[in-house]
């Protein structure tokens, strides 16, 4: 498979790139800064320098053409203000989805956030973030041309992955190592039977492949 990842230098994305490259997939990661390119190459991914905050749908679609799947893993990140939650976590996700439709890439996986909700109340930065993610998720869910899956991990940690997770429509809150999020994404990318599902993810007792298979087709 050829898989294009938006936010290719993110902590989850780099882990995902290593997993996909190791299993023989062709991976490209979209990055904003050219100096991040070497990190992607070391992960086995082709770096694609493109700023999703200023690119057009046509420009992004050109990078997506020929891909079998697209993963939106970009984020404004901690320390960013409300404006970038809107331009990255919402607008860039919508742009990437529109570009996937234009490029004919049907399989589309979104890394969202537990608690994402377009109706989320509050004026703190995290409130703005959850609203932005929720609005982006709602937009993607409205695109019939995409076989979308939305993944909402719990509290992210840098603990070593265990390969044991809980993946359901509703899990309740809990931690999840970034290693395990990447492993679940790698399974979701080529499990199109999970299309149309919004899934929450925390650490649990099911091996990743079993957890993904158990929700597929639901």
- Annotated catalytic, 129? yes
Q: How many CB atoms lie within 10 A of CB 142?
A: 10
d(CA 21, CA 39): 14
Round to whole Å and give the CA distance between 63 and 56: 11
Q: Which of 95, 103, 115, 108 is nearest to 171 (CA)?
A: 115
Rounded Cα distance between 161 and 153, Å, is 14
Gap between the Cα atoms of 106 and 80, Å rounded:
31
**In angstroms, how far is the first alpha carbon of the chain from the final one?**
24
Catalytic annotation, pick one of 72, 96, 108, 129: 129
The two structure tokens encoding residue 5: 């990842």
Consecutive H or E run containing 163: none
Could you give the dihedral angle defined by the CA atoms of residues 193, 9, 179 and 189, in that order, rounded to the nearest 10 degrees? 10
Give the catalytic positions in this structure.
Answer: 129
């Amino acid at each position: 498979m050829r898989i294009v990842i938006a936010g290719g230098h993110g902590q989850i994305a780099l882990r995902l790139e290593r997993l996909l490259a190791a299993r023989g997939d062709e991976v490209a990661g979209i990055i904003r800064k050219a100096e991040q390119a070497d990190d992607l190459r070391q992960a086995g991914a082709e770096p694609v320098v493109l700023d999703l905050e200023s690119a057009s749908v046509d420009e992004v679609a050109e990078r997506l053409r020929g891909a079998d799947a697209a993963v939106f893993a970009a984020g404004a990140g901690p320390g960013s203000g409300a404006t970038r939650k809107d331009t990255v976590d919402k607008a860039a996700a919508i742009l990437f989805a529109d570009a996937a439709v234009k490029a004919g890439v049907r399989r589309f996986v979104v890394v969202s956030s537990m608690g994402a909700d377009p109706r989320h109340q509050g004026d703190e930065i995290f409130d703005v973030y959850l609203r932005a993610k929720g609005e982006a998720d709602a937009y993607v869910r409205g695109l019939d041309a995409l076989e979308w899956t939305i993944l909402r991990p719990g509290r992210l940690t840098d603990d070593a992955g265990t390969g044991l997770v809980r993946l359901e429509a509703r899990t309740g809150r809990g931690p999840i190592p970034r290693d395990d999020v990447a492993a679940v994404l790698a399974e979701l990318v080529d499990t199109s039977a999970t299309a149309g599902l919004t899934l929450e993810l925390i650490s649990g007792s099911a091996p990743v492949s079993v957890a993904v298979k158990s929700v597929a087709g639901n």
